[in-house]
Chains A and B, each alone.
Chain A
Amino acid sequence: MTEQYRADVLVSCLHDRAPELLPALEKEVKDRGLGDEVRVVEAGCRGFCFTGPVILVEPDGIFYVGVQPADVPELVEETLVKGRVVERLTYREPASRKRIPFYKDIPFHSKQMRVVLRNCGLINPTSIDEYIAVGGYQALAKVLGTMTPEQVIEEVKKSGLRGRGGAGFPTGRKWEFTRKAPSDIKYVVANGDEGDPGAFMDRSLLEGDPHSVLEGMIVGAYAIGAHQGFIYVRDEYPLAVKNVGIAIEQAREYGLLGQDILGSGFDFDIKIVRGAGAFVCGEETALLASIEGRAGNPRPRPPFPAQSGLWGKPTNINNVKSWANIPVIISQGADWFRQIGTEASKGTMIFSLVGKVNNTGLVEVPMGITLRELIFDIGGGIQGGRKFKAVQTGGPSGGCIPAELLDLPVDYERLKEVGSIMGSGGMIVMDEHTCMVDVARYFLDFLKDESCGKCTPCREGIKQMLAILTRITEGAGEMADLQTLEELAHVVREASLCGLGQTAPNPVASTLRYFHDEYAAHIVDHKCPAGVCKALIEFSILADKCTGCMVCARRCPQQAISGEKKQAHVIDQSLCIKCGVCQDLCKFDAVVVQ
């Protein structure tokens, strides 16, 4: 008989914020004599990254945010003993300042649709029993018991699932190519090499629900005819590596991996390959080279991995999120899945919402949701009530989308039309204090470092574009540079070997397209309208607002500020290094940037 508890306390985001919270809770529950009726569960990420650690008390659905070990006695006494809500620990909506005690009522959650992240934060990721209890491995049972490999592929094709790594190739067709490729040995690979700064959905999935990825891979391997799989995960994700490792061990113990899975005669096993952290290894041919033990460089396609992948054998490679979609598609059916999303983009997409937005975190939404809903309803709007300027989608090589396009429904095609990409699902929100030229420069600087250097357009082209952008931010640009940038962007996009180079010009091209005036202001007027580019800005003190409090003068690292007590101060421009300390310190808004 299983143990029966009346309440489960699900604790998320422990590893970074409060490692002492879980033991404190467990101890308090035990000390209060609740050990046999209340269970404390360490669960995966709920995406509420702006306010962790979070606790969900089930079955009541009471949700607590920012819980610290010191809050534990009150939480246990009030909620677990007496059944009352601890008001002060509940979520407060930024706009209305209203407290929302129940998880289901919080807009950040209620506007989402969790398909891939269905179990993240709900189950203990290191327990295969909890995964099975919520219906895990039922899709595998259905496939092995009632479906032929061809039927599985048909179902996935019918679902309309497209690659969640960002390129959006139809998953079912990819499987079919690999199945039809002639060879005795075939492989399946899960791409968890999440390299975008600010994107963490693959990590969250592998940490919070590793069995869903394993189950998808076993189903895929059966459909394709593979007997060995690899999960490629970055070694910077130690908890993901650990939880996937535990999951594989558990699946082997239960006979869900290994020989003769569930008595079906089908053999399949999975190995973890740890990546060393190169951005380019997210590109499939570079990733395969890395698994083989070679340098992670891409190679020209064709031949595609479906024909010639790992060690020259047909290999099906999908993103970990694509794999995690598979069990749901099989269990609920392709028709159910097709109802979600837009005409050409079915299902959901996970975005990591970061930047100048109130509710930063991981959100899973149906394809076709507008940027406005994502940023203002789920994201809770821009920090500090400032104005929205742009959002960059798809990671460092995505494009910047301006405010005019906020009502754009998000799917693969629409994002491409406006000069961006779905990519990994990174979503960086920028406000009016962001300089778009500087943003383009920043991302190209990242891409320059991450270019593997194998092909010339990417290696040299990015470097040249970066040099021009740097020149513009320093006030030494010419209008002719913009033309050169356009040309370089075109060449790098068309002539690069792999996805890294082909998408690298996006930040430049999209900002040129939507923020041309800002480039012109840098070049012609020698001004940075957002007040970011140091060579083009000047800090000054407004005499009528300055009270002569002397705070800025004392803290200026250059002693560039002078003035008597209670008299207006002035900044000596020849000494100023534009660090902005004076502006941050001034309580009277007397320091301005021009």
Chain B
Amino acid sequence: MPKLRSLEELQKLREQLQGGIRARTATSTTITVGMGTCGISAGAREVMHAILAELDRRGINAHVTTVGCIGMCSKEPLVDIQQGDEPRVTYGNVTPAMVPRLIEEHLVRGSVVEEWVVGRVGG
């Protein structure tokens, strides 16, 4: 690692490093991936990797967490997105190819991708 020669270089380094400890810092966004046997066999792990990669590419601060089967096995892989006090939105039959649009529209622009929604909880 080369020496930091200015305050700007330290700031730049910090920004680069922040993603590395994202799981430990507070965030208002949690993305939950259903990772029961049903979810895994339907490709939930690939979806989760796609989410992690997309978040990283865009530098979005969000937690990604896994849960067991919720009972809606026919719609797996299921991905929930919760932001602050908003209702928790559940998307069904998610594929890695859908991930960029999901993140672009829901997280960046703040509009729910209605056509993929299978349910909402709370809010």
Contact = CB atoms under 8 A, between A and B. Distances in A.
A134 B49 CA distance: 24
B30 A133 contact: no
A262 B35 contact: no
A132 B19 CA distance: 12
A137 interface: yes
Contacts of A262: 4-7, 9-10
Contacts of B68: 82-84
Contacts of B7: 141, 144-145, 262-263
Contact of A6 (B3, B13, B23): B23
B123 interface: no
B18 interface: yes
Given A8-B24, A59-B24, A82 B10 contact: no
A130 interface: yes
B17 interface: yes
A4 B19 contact: yes
A551 B67 CA distance: 54
A2 to B, nearest CB: 4
Contact of B25 (A6, A80, A134, A138): A134
A4 B56 contact: yes
A20 interface: no
A3 interface: yes
B14 to A, nearest CB: 5
A295 B50 CA distance: 63
A145 B66 CA distance: 43
Contact of B21 (A8, A36, A138, A256): A8
Given A58-B23, A59-B30, A262-B6, A83 B67 contact: yes
A150 B68 CA distance: 57
**B interface, how many residues as a size bin?**
35 or more
Contact of A2 (B11, B17, B30): B17
Given A133-B14, A144-B7, A8 B35 contact: no
Contact of B65 (A6, A144, A256): A6
A37 B14 contact: no
B71 to A, nearest CB: 14
Interface of B: 1, 3-7, 9-11, 13-14, 16-25, 27, 30, 35-36, 48-49, 52-53, 55-56, 63-68
6 closest pairs, A vs B, by CB?
Answer: A255-B3, A59-B63, A133-B17, A6-B64, A83-B67, A4-B56
17 contacts: A5-B52, A6-B52, A7-B23, A7-B66, A36-B49, A59-B65, A60-B65, A83-B68, A122-B24, A123-B21, A133-B14, A133-B20, A134-B21, A134-B25, A135-B14, A254-B3, A263-B6
